[in-house]
Structure 1
Amino acid sequence: MKIKIKKTILLLLLAISSFAQTKNEKIKIILMGTFHYGATSDKNSTSFKDLFSEKRQKELEYMTSKLNAFGVKKIFVETDFREQKKSDSLYNAYKNGVLKDSVWLRREEIQVAFRLGKINNLPIIAADNRQDLDYNPLNEYEQKHKDDKPNPDSFFEVPYPFTEKLKKLSETPLPEYYIQLNSPYARQANQYDYLHYAMAYGEKDDFTGEQFTLSFYDRNLKIYNNILRNIDVKKDKVILVLFGASHTNIMRQFFENHPYFEIVELETVFN
């Protein structure tokens, strides 16, 4: 009888231990905020004229080999989720070596995500929810108040805090540039327009600026939702999110506050 009781207790303890490990196991997420290699509707863009040079292609090979060595199992990219079939078609063409169009080949989804995915035939998920920011209300508010005298005591008149010059892409190896682009300093600078300047548009019950920033949060919450919908908790222990840096900066807030995710810094991956 004692042996059976001990055996039952042991099995129970093992079950509890296994449940605890499963419950506390976190999915590692690499938020790789990027600039857009090709044409983009974004107001800010980065020139990348030497993308196809031997030097840059070797740097891309280095980055994808490091991401692969870290164990990435699934990749999420800034392609509208409604275009998954089109993305799959391009991915298959790339893997078969028949994707030759230089306009498509210039996209960061292909140069980074497809290049990485091809190594182990990883799934690449289109997770974006395309919706353009509407600047018209800001422009209208600005025009309406163009003759207003600035208030030097207003919080919105504080000096611009990001005066440190960052290294230019043309002068920096790609892995180092990405680490810089995803640094705390660059992340804060990237979000300043949304969290400070936009908020200056409006007064009293007019929240024009807040609505502008809210629309950007709305898009990124939908992206975040698309990512959660496509995670396999049993298989996807390490995932890569390759989106424009302004998106990953906001999504970082969501993943940091979710107990089942652990953010892995690019510096850890590339060094």
Structure 2
Amino acid sequence: MKILLTLLLFVTINLYGQDAILNQKKIKTKFDDAISVLNVGTFHMGETSDANSLAFDVNDENNKIEIKKLANILAKFKPTIIVIESLPKNDPIRQADYLDYIENPDKKFQKPDERELLAYEVGRLSGAKKIYGIDFKESYNYNIGSSVKNAIDKITVNKYWKLYEENQKNIVNEKISFYDLFKLNNHPQYLESLMNINADLLTYISSKGNAEGADEAAKFYHRNLVMFSNFNQIPVDKNDRIFILMGGTHTAFFIDFLKRSPKYKLENIFDYLK
């Protein structure tokens, strides 16, 4: 935990120094009416085909209590719009389901996940009336390495995997609390590691003169770009505040998109996750 706090302090100081330079030169990177966004990463809590899932019993009463506590913390952002990892075509059904939950917070879901358990509750507590899905499905061959003959840099790929597996093992062995695990899942360096292992790792898989791994990774990059395009189609005004809840790798992509966009102002999640 001390290491985590040290890293957060370093990131804060570093970013402050960069902002000071921009302010000194009077360079504006955001619209005056930029919309505040709280971009939150989560592990998938229910049944999912996603690789980034954990053994998490959504029916356990202690887990439910912990999620409710977290929802209360995140609801202090006071979003007016909730955005989740769901297909836009399902928005009418999802909106009706969400509004029903607002009226009946004791509602039972057949197979709840982080969307019903956390996003719905954050929205209910904050009074948000609108919920949107921005997901886009695009498959890619994550195991492309097994089919590339004469791959050039197998050593880096193997070391990459060992590093990731060691980190994951340490997380499991420490048996940290749900809240601390959620904080870890939103640490910038942890999010970058998810981006590395889910996409960038593939760029090290290639045969001479080719880019087999990069071609596959590009599909995952494209998926996230389309998700951001879907996000930009949500009707908003200057008074809106947007809460996004997605799997951590998508959150990592969106950090970069939101930082660069003049339309949005990315809020620091650790202003809420103390």
TM-score bracket, shorter-length normalisation: 0.7 to 0.9
Aligned to 1:110: 116
**Aligned counterparts of 2:86 and 2:222: Cα–Cα separation in 1:** 17
Q: 1:83 aligns with which of 84, 90, 110?
A: 90
Aligned to 1:74: 81
**Aligned counterparts of 1:63 and 1:131: Cα–Cα separation in 2:** 31
Matches within 5 A, 1:110-149: 110-119=116-125, 120-135=127-142, 138=144, 142-145=146-149, 148=150
Identity of aligned residues (%): 20
1:214-257 superposed Cα distances (whole Å, 9 cap, x missing partner) = 11111111111111111413221x21111111111112111111
- Residue 59 of structure 2 is aligned to residue 52 of structure 1: yes
Which amino acid in 2 is paired with 1:214? A
TM-score (normalizing by structure 1): 0.77
Which amino acid in 1 is paired with 2:110? S
Q: 2:267 aligns with which of 250, 264, 269?
A: 264
**Aligned counterparts of 2:76 and 2:147: Cα–Cα separation in 1:** 53
1:163-197 superposed Cα distances (whole Å, 9 cap, x missing partner) = 44553499333332111011122112212224543
Going from structure 1 to structure 2, the CA distance change for 1:115 and 1:260 (only over 3 Å counts) comes to same
TM-score (normalizing by structure 2): 0.76
Aligned-residue Cα RMSD (Å) equals 2.9
Length, aligned pairs only: 241
Contact between 1:59 and 1:173, CA under 8 Å: does it hold in 2?
no
Aligned to 1:24: 32
Contact between 2:151 and 2:207, CA under 8 Å: does it hold in 1?
no
Mark the runs of 5 or more structure 2 residues left unpaired by the alignment: 1-27
Aligned to 1:234: 238
Contact between 1:75 and 1:124, CA under 8 Å: does it hold in 2?
yes
Aligned to 1:167: 171
Going from structure 1 to structure 2, the CA distance change for 1:224 and 1:263 (only over 3 Å counts) comes to same
Contact between 2:90 and 2:133, CA under 8 Å: does it hold in 1?
yes
What secondary structure, in the 3-state scheme, does the structure 1 residue paired with 2:86 have?
strand
Going from structure 1 to structure 2, the CA distance change for 1:134 and 1:59 (only over 3 Å counts) comes to same
Q: 2:42 aligns with which of 34, 38, 46?
A: 34
Contact between 1:131 and 1:219, CA under 8 Å: does it hold in 2?
yes
